[in-house]
Amino acid sequence: MDTYKSYRRLWWLLWSRRHDAEHARIMAKLWLNRRRAGALVDPAHGFGMFGSAMPLLELHDRYNAPSVYFSALTSRPFWPADGLTALLEANVDLIRDEFKAISTSDHRQDIRDAGLAKSGWTVFSLLDESGNKIEANSARCPKTTALIESACGVKGNSPWTMAYFSIMAPGTHVRRHRGPGNIRRRYHLGLEVPERDSYLMVHNRIVSWRNNECIVFDDSYEHEVFHQSDQRRVVLIVDIPHPELTAAERDFFKEFAMVTQGTRVSQDIYVPIDANRGAQLG
């Protein structure tokens, strides 16, 4: 799809909802690369997404917002345990057993995270970034896949929903990066975690994984991994949409993903805020 048509589709997506009460928060509080999305369809700003008349998002720390920032949502680096953490932890043995049956030769580097680690970081994906099953892989972990789909209400084509095993070899360092938006939560379930020397830093707090336990965080905050152990580290990662999103807002972001993925619009939105800091590369 050419650039004009891509922008036109995004413009129409916003224009068609500009007076819809169900999308009032979207128009007022969705920011794309620090510019308010509602201004795209505001004549005062010339109907241009990146025009100079469009105000930048004002934050105490201007590097604290991801490319897609929905300021109507509660935002914090870490979240407390919830129903999904309880479900994952209750089924950890089942999940671990299915993972152990997978040959290491089937682990793959995640091209989305290329450049964040020199080596040693591989994945085995069950659901892609749109919540669609990766059939060959999910067939080898049917109980884990079914558990996640049931718990998260996934029926395919569910952007901001994803599930995969993350495997780190000894000595792996994943440099500081952030996810693309704050409209999801990320769950890490510890499956094979060394007793020491494996750390996750999110924002300004450092934590360690524990076997059979979940960590829940917002990956739109800068985060970094230091895996200094002499053993591998394995966690199951599950992403779900932010629970404060309304049904109408979830539908909007589904259409937003369809309009922007793989287009020049996506490149313009998901650009580094500060390339020297690597702030947006995750």
CATH of the domain at 223: 2.60.120.330
First to last CA, the chain: 25
Residues 134-177 have pLDDT tens digits of 999 999 999 999 999 998 877 767 888 999 999 999 999 998 88
Q: How far apart are CA 45 and CA 55, in angstroms?
A: 9
pLDDT band at 263 (very low <50, low <70, confident <90, very high): low
Same domain, 230 and 129: yes
CA angle, residues 80, 66, 84, in degrees to nearest 5: 25
- CA distances to 44, 70, 79, 176 from 117, in Å: 44, 29, 26, 10
Do 207 and 112 share a domain, yes or no? yes
With a cut of 50, say whether residue 27 has pLDDT above it: yes
Do 28 and 114 lie in one domain? The reply is no
| Phi–psi pair at 10, nearest 5 degrees | -65, -45
Average pLDDT over residues 61-71: 74
Residue 275: inside a domain, yes or no? no
Model confidence at 272, pLDDT cuts 50, 70, 90, reads: very low
Res. 48: pLDDT tops 60: no
Q: Are 95 and 212 in a shared domain?
A: yes
Q: Is the pLDDT of residue 34 over 50?
A: yes
Has residue 278 been placed in a domain?
A: no
Residues 231 and 112 in one domain: yes
Q: What tokens were used for 116?
A: 């964040």
Structural domain containing residue 27: 3-73+245-269
Note whether 218 and 79 are within 8 A (CB): yes
Q: Are 148 and 184 in the same domain?
A: yes
Clarify whether residues 235 and 250 are in a common domain.
Answer: no
Residue 34 lies in a domain: yes
Q: CB burial class (10 A; 0-12, 13-18, 19+) of residue 264?
A: middle
- 143 and 49 part of one domain: no
pLDDT at 61 over 70: no
User: Is 17 a domain residue?
Assistant: yes
In a domain, 201, yes or no: yes
> Is 54 a domain residue?
yes
Question: What's the rounded mean pLDDT across residues 44-72?
Answer: 62
Is residue 53 included in any domain, yes or no? yes
State pLDDT tens for residues 116-133: 777 789 999 999 988 899
| Residues 86 and 128 reside in one and the same domain | yes
Residues in Cβ contact with 280 at an 8 Å cutoff, skipping those fewer than 6 apart: 66, 67, 177, 178, 180, 270, 271, 272, 273
Mean residue pLDDT across the chain: 84
Residue 246: name the closest of 5, 6, 9, 23 by CA.
23
Are both 95 and 230 inside the same structural domain?
Answer: yes
Cα separation, 195 vs 181, in Å, equals: 32
The residue ranges of DSSP E strands in 152-258, in sequence order, are 162-168, 172-177, 184-192, 198-202, 205-207, 214-217, 223-227, 233-241
19, 159, 256, 280 from 49: Cα distances, Å? 19, 22, 15, 19
111 and 198 in a single domain? The answer is yes
Number of domains comprising the chain: 2
Is residue 229 assigned to a domain? yes
- 224 and 89 in a common domain: yes
